[in-house]
Amino acid sequence: MSTATERIPVLVTTREKGQIAKMAKDAGLSMGELLRRAASSYRTSEQDKELEGMIDQMNKTTAQASAAIDKALAFVNASNKRIVAMERKAA
């Protein structure tokens, strides 16, 4: 991790500074580190749209996988019933 050497002056209200200070203290971080992490995790609305698209695709894929599992379980259940019927017939 490189040493921070640049400053970015940011004006905030007294209330905002207090909120930032409390969040930093609660997280065990300096205010600077809290703000650096917040800035690093910021996503643009374009990135949010990409994530929404991936989530939609994941939901579709999950539904397809669930349907395939249900179909396989139904097949196994029917097969087990056929086996039981054949065993009864043989006995």
38-72, pLDDT tens digit by residue? 999 888 888 888 889 999 999 999 999 999 999 99
Give me 27's structure tokens.
Answer: 């997280």
pLDDT of residue 16: 97
CB neighbour burial string for 52-65, b if at least 16 within 10 angstroms, e if fewer: eeeeeeeeeeeeee
Using a pLDDT cut of 90, give the percent of the chain over it.
79
9-49 confidence digits (pLDDT tens): 999 999 999 999 999 999 999 999 999 999 998 888 888 88
- Residue 85, pLDDT > 90, answer yes
Place of tokens 């990135």: 47
Residue 1 has pLDDT above 80, yes or no: no
Is residue 34 a contact partner of residue 20, using CB atoms and an 8 Å limit? yes
Q: Which amino acid is at 7?
A: R
